[in-house]
A = this chain, B = another copy of it.
Amino acid sequence: MNRRRFTTHLAAGIAGFSIGGRFRETALSAAPSLRVEGDRINRHLTELSAFGRNSYGGVSRVAYSEFDRQGRAWAMDVMREAGLTVQVDAAGNIFGRRAGRNAALKPIVFGSHIDSVPDGGNYDGDVGVLSSIEVARTFREKGVTTRHPIEVVIFSNEEGGTVGSRAMVGDLTEKDLDLVAASGKTWRDGMRFLGGDPTRLTAPLKRKGDYAAYVELHIEQGGTLEEDGINIGVVEGIVGIGRWEMVVDGFSNHAGTTPMNKRKDALLAASKFIQMVNRVVTAEPGRQVGTVGKIAVVPNAPNVIPGKVTATLEIRDLDGAKIQRLGNRCIDEAKKIGAENGTTFSFTQTHNLKPAIMTRSVQQAIEASAKSIGLTTKYLPSGAGHDAQHVSEITPTGMIFCPSVGGISHSPKEFTKPQDVANGANVLLQTILALDAQ
Protein backbone atom coordinates (compact mmCIF):
# COMPACT_ATOMS: atom_id res chain seq x y z
CA MET A 1 0.00 0.00 0.00
CA ASN A 2 1.46 3.32 -1.13
CA ARG A 3 0.31 6.26 0.90
CA ARG A 4 0.96 9.63 -0.69
CA ARG A 5 0.09 11.94 2.19
CA PHE A 6 3.54 13.49 2.64
CA THR A 7 4.33 16.00 5.34
CA THR A 8 6.61 18.81 4.32
CA HIS A 9 9.65 17.61 6.19
CA LEU A 10 9.14 14.00 5.17
CA ALA A 11 8.92 15.12 1.57
CA ALA A 12 12.15 17.04 2.08
CA GLY A 13 13.74 14.00 3.68
CA ILE A 14 13.32 11.86 0.61
CA ALA A 15 14.23 14.33 -2.13
CA GLY A 16 16.68 12.72 -4.50
CA PHE A 17 18.00 9.18 -4.81
CA SER A 18 20.57 7.31 -2.82
CA ILE A 19 24.10 7.77 -4.05
CA GLY A 20 25.25 4.44 -2.58
CA GLY A 21 25.34 1.69 -5.16
CA ARG A 22 25.53 -1.21 -2.68
CA PHE A 23 21.82 -1.78 -2.18
CA ARG A 24 18.90 -2.10 -4.48
CA GLU A 25 17.16 1.25 -4.32
CA THR A 26 13.41 1.88 -4.12
CA ALA A 27 11.97 5.08 -5.49
CA LEU A 28 12.39 7.46 -2.58
CA SER A 29 8.93 8.79 -3.15
CA ALA A 30 7.77 5.50 -1.62
CA ALA A 31 9.50 6.21 1.75
CA PRO A 32 6.39 7.60 3.48
CA SER A 33 4.65 4.32 2.80
CA LEU A 34 7.60 2.29 4.08
CA ARG A 35 6.52 -0.14 6.81
CA VAL A 36 8.33 -2.64 8.99
CA GLU A 37 7.34 -6.29 9.14
CA GLY A 38 5.54 -6.28 12.48
CA ASP A 39 5.30 -10.07 12.58
CA ARG A 40 9.07 -10.35 12.38
CA ILE A 41 9.59 -8.05 15.40
CA ASN A 42 7.09 -10.00 17.45
CA ARG A 43 8.69 -13.30 16.41
CA HIS A 44 12.06 -11.90 17.47
CA LEU A 45 10.57 -10.84 20.82
CA THR A 46 9.56 -14.47 21.37
CA GLU A 47 12.98 -15.76 20.33
CA LEU A 48 14.79 -13.34 22.65
CA SER A 49 12.51 -14.33 25.55
CA ALA A 50 14.13 -17.78 25.61
CA PHE A 51 17.33 -16.34 27.12
CA GLY A 52 16.74 -16.28 30.87
CA ARG A 53 13.13 -17.44 30.77
CA ASN A 54 11.87 -18.48 34.23
CA SER A 55 9.95 -21.74 34.60
CA TYR A 56 7.34 -19.79 36.62
CA GLY A 57 6.92 -17.06 33.98
CA GLY A 58 8.75 -13.95 32.89
CA VAL A 59 12.45 -13.54 32.35
CA SER A 60 15.55 -12.95 34.47
CA ARG A 61 18.16 -11.78 31.98
CA VAL A 62 20.01 -9.56 34.38
CA ALA A 63 22.98 -7.59 33.12
CA TYR A 64 26.36 -9.36 32.91
CA SER A 65 24.76 -12.79 33.47
CA GLU A 66 25.32 -15.75 31.17
CA PHE A 67 21.77 -15.28 29.85
CA ASP A 68 22.58 -11.65 29.10
CA ARG A 69 25.65 -12.72 27.13
CA GLN A 70 23.67 -15.33 25.21
CA GLY A 71 20.85 -12.88 24.44
CA ARG A 72 23.35 -10.31 23.21
CA ALA A 73 25.10 -12.87 20.97
CA TRP A 74 21.71 -13.73 19.46
CA ALA A 75 20.89 -10.05 18.97
CA MET A 76 24.23 -9.38 17.26
CA ASP A 77 23.41 -12.18 14.80
CA VAL A 78 20.04 -10.56 14.08
CA MET A 79 21.84 -7.24 13.55
CA ARG A 80 24.20 -8.83 11.05
CA GLU A 81 21.26 -10.44 9.22
CA ALA A 82 19.88 -6.91 8.94
CA GLY A 83 23.07 -5.83 7.22
CA LEU A 84 24.56 -3.97 10.14
CA THR A 85 28.25 -3.92 11.01
CA VAL A 86 28.55 -4.82 14.68
CA GLN A 87 30.96 -3.42 17.26
CA VAL A 88 31.10 -3.51 21.07
CA ASP A 89 32.37 -0.42 22.85
CA ALA A 90 34.41 -0.16 26.06
CA ALA A 91 31.28 -0.25 28.23
CA GLY A 92 29.84 -3.31 26.52
CA ASN A 93 27.33 -1.31 24.48
CA ILE A 94 26.61 -2.90 21.09
CA PHE A 95 26.46 -0.75 17.96
CA GLY A 96 25.23 -1.97 14.55
CA ARG A 97 26.15 0.52 11.85
CA ARG A 98 25.04 1.13 8.33
CA ALA A 99 26.70 3.76 6.19
CA GLY A 100 24.73 6.72 4.88
CA ARG A 101 24.92 8.59 1.60
CA ASN A 102 26.84 11.49 3.05
CA ALA A 103 30.01 10.39 4.83
CA ALA A 104 30.44 13.87 6.32
CA LEU A 105 27.28 13.58 8.42
CA LYS A 106 27.18 12.26 11.97
CA PRO A 107 25.14 9.11 12.65
CA ILE A 108 21.52 9.01 13.74
CA VAL A 109 21.41 6.53 16.59
CA PHE A 110 18.40 4.56 17.81
CA GLY A 111 17.97 1.58 20.13
CA SER A 112 17.40 0.63 23.74
CA HIS A 113 18.48 -2.33 25.94
CA ILE A 114 17.81 -6.06 26.31
CA ASP A 115 18.88 -6.73 29.90
CA SER A 116 15.97 -7.24 32.31
CA VAL A 117 15.23 -6.84 35.99
CA PRO A 118 15.07 -10.10 37.99
CA ASP A 119 11.65 -11.64 37.30
CA GLY A 120 10.91 -9.09 34.63
CA GLY A 121 8.99 -9.20 31.37
CA ASN A 122 9.78 -9.43 27.66
CA TYR A 123 8.95 -5.93 26.41
CA ASP A 124 10.88 -3.43 28.54
CA GLY A 125 13.88 -2.56 26.35
CA ASP A 126 13.43 -5.51 23.97
CA VAL A 127 10.70 -3.77 21.95
CA GLY A 128 12.98 -0.81 21.28
CA VAL A 129 16.01 -2.88 20.28
CA LEU A 130 14.21 -5.36 18.04
CA SER A 131 12.16 -2.60 16.39
CA SER A 132 15.34 -0.62 15.76
CA ILE A 133 16.99 -3.60 14.08
CA GLU A 134 13.81 -4.13 12.06
CA VAL A 135 13.86 -0.48 10.93
CA ALA A 136 17.45 -0.89 9.69
CA ARG A 137 16.53 -4.15 8.01
CA THR A 138 13.51 -2.55 6.34
CA PHE A 139 15.72 0.24 4.96
CA ARG A 140 18.06 -2.38 3.54
CA GLU A 141 15.36 -4.64 2.15
CA LYS A 142 13.48 -1.74 0.59
CA GLY A 143 16.63 -0.19 -0.80
CA VAL A 144 16.48 2.99 1.26
CA THR A 145 19.78 4.55 2.18
CA THR A 146 19.63 7.47 4.55
CA ARG A 147 21.82 10.53 4.18
CA HIS A 148 23.25 10.03 7.67
CA PRO A 149 24.89 6.84 8.80
CA ILE A 150 22.55 4.98 11.13
CA GLU A 151 23.55 3.10 14.27
CA VAL A 152 21.35 0.71 16.19
CA VAL A 153 22.47 0.60 19.83
CA ILE A 154 21.95 -1.97 22.58
CA PHE A 155 23.01 -0.27 25.80
CA SER A 156 24.44 -2.56 28.46
CA ASN A 157 23.04 -2.86 32.01
CA GLU A 158 20.19 -0.41 31.70
CA GLU A 159 18.24 -1.94 34.58
CA GLY A 160 21.18 -1.71 36.97
CA GLY A 161 21.29 2.08 36.62
CA THR A 162 21.54 2.98 32.90
CA VAL A 163 25.18 1.99 33.21
CA GLY A 164 26.09 1.61 29.54
CA SER A 165 24.71 4.98 28.45
CA ARG A 166 26.25 6.74 31.45
CA ALA A 167 29.59 5.16 30.65
CA MET A 168 29.28 6.32 27.02
CA VAL A 169 28.80 9.99 27.96
CA GLY A 170 31.52 9.85 30.64
CA ASP A 171 29.23 9.85 33.62
CA LEU A 172 30.81 6.97 35.61
CA THR A 173 33.50 7.20 38.26
CA GLU A 174 36.15 4.60 39.04
CA LYS A 175 34.23 3.92 42.26
CA ASP A 176 31.01 3.25 40.35
CA LEU A 177 32.78 0.45 38.50
CA ASP A 178 33.12 -1.43 41.77
CA LEU A 179 29.36 -1.49 42.34
CA VAL A 180 27.87 -4.96 42.24
CA ALA A 181 25.15 -5.73 39.70
CA ALA A 182 22.19 -8.10 40.13
CA SER A 183 24.27 -10.83 38.48
CA GLY A 184 26.77 -10.65 41.33
CA LYS A 185 29.53 -9.19 39.14
CA THR A 186 30.94 -5.72 39.61
CA TRP A 187 30.18 -3.33 36.79
CA ARG A 188 33.87 -3.49 35.88
CA ASP A 189 33.93 -7.29 35.67
CA GLY A 190 30.54 -7.30 33.95
CA MET A 191 31.72 -4.98 31.19
CA ARG A 192 34.73 -7.21 30.60
CA PHE A 193 32.45 -10.26 30.58
CA LEU A 194 30.50 -8.61 27.73
CA GLY A 195 33.63 -7.86 25.71
CA GLY A 196 34.11 -4.28 26.90
CA ASP A 197 37.24 -2.65 28.27
CA PRO A 198 36.50 -0.61 31.42
CA THR A 199 40.09 0.69 31.56
CA ARG A 200 39.11 2.94 28.63
CA LEU A 201 36.32 4.67 30.59
CA THR A 202 38.57 7.35 32.06
CA ALA A 203 37.31 9.66 29.28
CA PRO A 204 33.84 9.89 27.67
CA LEU A 205 33.43 7.51 24.72
CA LYS A 206 31.19 10.02 22.95
CA ARG A 207 30.91 13.79 23.17
CA LYS A 208 28.64 16.59 22.00
CA GLY A 209 28.63 16.67 18.21
CA ASP A 210 29.47 12.99 17.75
CA TYR A 211 25.85 12.11 16.87
CA ALA A 212 23.14 13.77 14.77
CA ALA A 213 20.31 12.54 17.00
CA TYR A 214 19.14 9.73 19.27
CA VAL A 215 15.66 8.18 19.27
CA GLU A 216 14.45 5.46 21.64
CA LEU A 217 11.27 3.46 21.28
CA HIS A 218 10.12 1.94 24.57
CA ILE A 219 6.99 0.56 26.20
CA GLU A 220 5.23 3.15 28.34
CA GLN A 221 5.37 1.05 31.56
CA GLY A 222 2.42 3.12 32.81
CA GLY A 223 -1.22 2.75 31.81
CA THR A 224 -1.99 6.19 30.36
CA LEU A 225 -1.92 5.35 26.65
CA GLU A 226 -4.00 2.19 26.99
CA GLU A 227 -6.60 3.88 29.19
CA ASP A 228 -6.92 6.86 26.88
CA GLY A 229 -6.97 4.65 23.77
CA ILE A 230 -3.93 6.41 22.29
CA ASN A 231 -1.49 4.65 19.90
CA ILE A 232 1.73 6.56 20.50
CA GLY A 233 3.20 8.55 23.36
CA VAL A 234 5.50 11.45 22.55
CA VAL A 235 7.79 11.75 25.54
CA GLU A 236 8.24 15.32 26.78
CA GLY A 237 11.02 14.39 29.13
CA ILE A 238 12.26 11.88 31.65
CA VAL A 239 11.31 12.81 35.17
CA GLY A 240 13.84 13.78 37.77
CA ILE A 241 14.11 11.64 40.89
CA GLY A 242 14.53 12.90 44.43
CA ARG A 243 15.12 10.14 46.91
CA TRP A 244 15.53 10.41 50.68
CA GLU A 245 16.40 7.90 53.35
CA MET A 246 14.33 8.47 56.45
CA VAL A 247 15.00 7.33 60.00
CA VAL A 248 12.32 7.49 62.68
CA ASP A 249 13.66 7.10 66.20
CA GLY A 250 11.14 6.10 68.83
CA PHE A 251 11.59 3.88 71.84
CA SER A 252 11.43 0.12 71.81
CA ASN A 253 9.51 -1.29 74.75
CA HIS A 254 7.40 -4.21 75.89
CA ALA A 255 4.13 -4.26 73.97
CA GLY A 256 2.28 -5.77 76.92
CA THR A 257 3.42 -3.54 79.74
CA THR A 258 3.62 -0.12 78.10
CA PRO A 259 0.33 1.81 78.18
CA MET A 260 -0.85 3.31 74.89
CA ASN A 261 -0.27 6.89 76.06
CA LYS A 262 3.34 6.18 77.11
CA ARG A 263 4.54 4.81 73.79
CA LYS A 264 7.01 6.26 71.33
CA ASP A 265 6.04 3.94 68.51
CA ALA A 266 8.26 4.59 65.49
CA LEU A 267 6.05 2.51 63.18
CA LEU A 268 2.92 4.42 64.17
CA ALA A 269 4.77 7.66 63.36
CA ALA A 270 6.06 6.22 60.07
CA SER A 271 2.50 5.21 59.17
CA LYS A 272 1.33 8.77 59.61
CA PHE A 273 4.25 9.87 57.45
CA ILE A 274 3.29 7.49 54.63
CA GLN A 275 -0.25 8.81 54.59
CA MET A 276 0.96 12.39 54.73
CA VAL A 277 3.25 11.83 51.71
CA ASN A 278 0.25 10.57 49.76
CA ARG A 279 -1.75 13.64 50.75
CA VAL A 280 1.02 16.17 50.00
CA VAL A 281 1.89 14.65 46.61
CA THR A 282 -1.73 14.47 45.43
CA ALA A 283 -2.75 17.85 46.87
CA GLU A 284 -1.63 19.86 43.87
CA PRO A 285 -2.32 19.40 40.15
CA GLY A 286 0.28 17.67 38.00
CA ARG A 287 1.70 14.25 37.28
CA GLN A 288 4.17 14.10 40.16
CA VAL A 289 4.38 10.82 42.07
CA GLY A 290 5.60 10.08 45.59
CA THR A 291 6.34 6.63 46.96
CA VAL A 292 7.43 5.01 50.21
CA GLY A 293 8.51 1.66 48.82
CA LYS A 294 10.99 0.31 51.35
CA ILE A 295 10.70 0.03 55.10
CA ALA A 296 12.52 -1.76 57.92
CA VAL A 297 11.49 -1.91 61.56
CA VAL A 298 13.68 -2.56 64.61
CA PRO A 299 13.32 -4.91 66.42
CA ASN A 300 10.39 -6.13 64.27
CA ALA A 301 8.74 -8.49 66.73
CA PRO A 302 4.99 -8.90 67.34
CA ASN A 303 5.35 -8.19 71.06
CA VAL A 304 7.76 -5.25 71.01
CA ILE A 305 6.85 -1.63 70.30
CA PRO A 306 8.85 -0.58 67.22
CA GLY A 307 11.77 1.55 68.38
CA LYS A 308 13.20 2.49 65.01
CA VAL A 309 12.01 2.62 61.42
CA THR A 310 14.04 3.29 58.31
CA ALA A 311 12.23 3.95 55.04
CA THR A 312 12.68 5.58 51.66
CA LEU A 313 10.83 8.50 50.15
CA GLU A 314 10.96 8.95 46.40
CA ILE A 315 9.41 11.82 44.43
CA ARG A 316 9.46 12.10 40.62
CA ASP A 317 8.41 14.89 38.30
CA LEU A 318 9.48 16.67 35.12
CA ASP A 319 10.08 19.78 37.25
CA GLY A 320 13.13 19.46 39.47
CA ALA A 321 12.12 22.43 41.63
CA LYS A 322 8.75 20.83 42.34
CA ILE A 323 10.47 17.63 43.50
CA GLN A 324 12.54 19.54 46.04
CA ARG A 325 9.58 21.65 47.17
CA LEU A 326 7.38 18.59 47.79
CA GLY A 327 10.25 16.75 49.48
CA ASN A 328 10.81 19.69 51.80
CA ARG A 329 7.12 19.85 52.64
CA CYS A 330 7.13 16.15 53.60
CA ILE A 331 10.19 16.71 55.78
CA ASP A 332 8.54 19.70 57.49
CA GLU A 333 5.33 17.81 58.15
CA ALA A 334 7.28 14.80 59.45
CA LYS A 335 8.65 16.93 62.26
CA LYS A 336 5.11 17.71 63.40
CA ILE A 337 4.17 14.03 63.26
CA GLY A 338 7.18 13.16 65.38
CA ALA A 339 6.30 15.81 67.96
CA GLU A 340 2.87 14.19 68.42
CA ASN A 341 4.23 10.93 69.87
CA GLY A 342 7.76 11.75 70.98
CA THR A 343 9.54 10.31 67.96
CA THR A 344 12.12 12.10 65.82
CA PHE A 345 12.47 12.02 62.06
CA SER A 346 15.71 12.55 60.18
CA PHE A 347 16.31 12.59 56.44
CA THR A 348 19.27 12.15 54.11
CA GLN A 349 18.83 12.91 50.43
CA THR A 350 20.46 10.03 48.54
CA HIS A 351 19.39 10.85 44.95
CA ASN A 352 18.84 14.08 43.11
CA LEU A 353 18.60 13.13 39.45
CA LYS A 354 17.71 16.11 37.28
CA PRO A 355 14.84 15.78 34.82
CA ALA A 356 15.95 15.29 31.19
CA ILE A 357 13.80 17.31 28.78
CA MET A 358 13.51 15.77 25.31
CA THR A 359 14.48 17.92 22.31
CA ARG A 360 11.48 19.85 21.01
CA SER A 361 12.26 19.28 17.31
CA VAL A 362 12.58 15.53 17.85
CA GLN A 363 9.26 15.48 19.74
CA GLN A 364 7.66 17.27 16.77
CA ALA A 365 9.18 14.80 14.29
CA ILE A 366 7.76 11.90 16.31
CA GLU A 367 4.31 13.47 16.48
CA ALA A 368 4.24 14.30 12.77
CA SER A 369 5.50 10.82 11.85
CA ALA A 370 2.78 9.14 13.91
CA LYS A 371 0.06 11.34 12.46
CA SER A 372 1.39 10.74 8.92
CA ILE A 373 0.58 7.06 9.29
CA GLY A 374 -2.78 7.63 10.93
CA LEU A 375 -1.85 7.02 14.55
CA THR A 376 -3.10 9.04 17.53
CA THR A 377 -0.57 10.64 19.86
CA LYS A 378 -0.31 12.12 23.31
CA TYR A 379 2.49 14.08 24.96
CA LEU A 380 3.48 12.64 28.32
CA PRO A 381 6.45 12.39 30.69
CA SER A 382 8.41 9.24 31.26
CA GLY A 383 8.16 8.29 34.91
CA ALA A 384 10.92 5.73 34.49
CA GLY A 385 14.55 6.40 33.78
CA HIS A 386 15.95 5.50 30.36
CA ASP A 387 19.26 5.54 28.52
CA ALA A 388 17.82 8.47 26.53
CA GLN A 389 18.21 10.75 29.54
CA HIS A 390 21.99 10.39 29.44
CA VAL A 391 22.33 10.42 25.65
CA SER A 392 20.34 13.67 25.68
CA GLU A 393 23.38 15.31 27.30
CA ILE A 394 25.32 15.00 24.04
CA THR A 395 22.76 15.03 21.19
CA PRO A 396 19.16 15.98 20.27
CA THR A 397 17.06 13.17 21.71
CA GLY A 398 13.48 11.90 21.64
CA MET A 399 11.49 8.95 22.91
CA ILE A 400 8.50 7.12 21.47
CA PHE A 401 6.19 5.17 23.80
CA CYS A 402 3.86 2.36 22.82
CA PRO A 403 1.09 1.19 25.17
CA SER A 404 1.64 -1.24 28.06
CA VAL A 405 -1.40 -3.39 28.79
CA GLY A 406 -2.63 -2.57 32.29
CA GLY A 407 0.36 -0.29 32.78
CA ILE A 408 2.25 -3.29 34.14
CA SER A 409 6.03 -3.39 33.92
CA HIS A 410 9.00 -5.05 35.60
CA SER A 411 6.74 -8.07 35.94
CA PRO A 412 6.15 -11.33 34.04
CA LYS A 413 2.71 -9.83 33.26
CA GLU A 414 4.29 -7.01 31.21
CA PHE A 415 2.67 -7.03 27.75
CA THR A 416 2.38 -4.85 24.65
CA LYS A 417 0.04 -5.95 21.85
CA PRO A 418 1.75 -7.03 18.59
CA GLN A 419 0.01 -4.27 16.63
CA ASP A 420 1.19 -1.67 19.12
CA VAL A 421 4.76 -2.96 18.78
CA ALA A 422 4.49 -2.66 14.99
CA ASN A 423 3.00 0.83 15.30
CA GLY A 424 5.87 1.92 17.50
CA ALA A 425 8.43 0.54 15.03
CA ASN A 426 6.75 2.30 12.10
CA VAL A 427 6.76 5.61 13.96
CA LEU A 428 10.44 5.05 14.74
CA LEU A 429 11.13 4.37 11.05
CA GLN A 430 9.34 7.50 9.90
CA THR A 431 10.98 9.57 12.63
CA ILE A 432 14.44 8.45 11.52
CA LEU A 433 13.58 9.41 7.96
CA ALA A 434 12.32 12.80 9.14
CA LEU A 435 15.44 13.49 11.17
CA ASP A 436 17.58 12.30 8.32
CA ALA A 437 16.06 15.04 6.20
CA GLN A 438 16.81 17.82 8.66
Contacts and interface: CB of A to CB of B under 8 A. Distances in A.
Interface in A215-244: 220-224, 239, 241, 243
Given A260-B282, A272-B275, A407 B293 contact: no
Contact of A257 (B220, B261, B281): B220
Interface string A240-251: 010100000000
A267 B295 contact: yes
A272 B294 CA distance: 16
Given A291-B305, A303-B314, A316-B256, A223 B281 contact: no
A314 B255 contact: yes
Interface stretch (A44-52, A99-107, A199-207, A408-416): A408-416
A257 B305 contact: no
The 10 closest A-B pairs by CB, nearest first: A256-B383, A222-B257, A271-B271, A257-B383, A302-B312, A255-B291, A221-B257, A271-B274, A256-B384, A254-B409
Contact of A260 (B253, B281, B293, B297): B281
Contacts of A297: 293-295
A294 B267 CA distance: 9
A274 B266 CA distance: 11
B295 A254 contact: no
A71 interface: no
Contacts of A274: 267-268, 271
Interface in A287-339: 287, 289-295, 297, 300-306, 312, 314, 316
Given A291-B305, A293-B304, 10 more contacts: A222-B257, A223-B259, A253-B408, A254-B383, A254-B409, A255-B293, A256-B316, A293-B303, A303-B314, A304-B410
Interface in A112-144: none
Interface of A: 220-224, 239, 241, 243, 252-262, 265, 267-268, 270-272, 274-275, 278, 281-282, 287, 289-295, 297, 300-306, 312, 314, 316, 382-385, 407-411
Contact of A255 (B267, B272, B289, B302): B289
B289 A253 contact: no
8 contacts: A239-B256, A253-B409, A254-B384, A256-B385, A257-B384, A292-B306, A293-B303, A304-B410
A290 to B, nearest CB: 7
B295 A302 contact: no
Contacts of A408: 253
B302 A243 contact: yes
A357 B304 CA distance: 23
A235 to B, nearest CB: 11
Nearest to A262: B223
Point out which of A281, A289, A302, A408 has the most chain B C-beta atoms below 10 A from its C-beta: A302
Nearest to A256: B383
A302 B306 contact: no
A344 to B, nearest CB: 18
A222 B259 contact: yes
A252 B414 CA distance: 12
A253 B300 CA distance: 25
Contacts of A268: 274-275, 278, 292
Contacts of A272: 271, 275
A272 B385 CA distance: 30
Given A297-B294, A409-B253, A289 B259 contact: yes
A305 B271 CA distance: 15
Nearest to A314: B302
A259 B302 CA distance: 34
A243 B327 CA distance: 37
Nearest to A296: B300
A267 B289 contact: no
Nearest to A291: B255
Contacts of A303: 241, 291, 293, 314
A155 B291 CA distance: 49
A259 B222 CA distance: 8
Contact of A275 (B258, B275, B306, B407): B275
Contacts of A411: 252-253
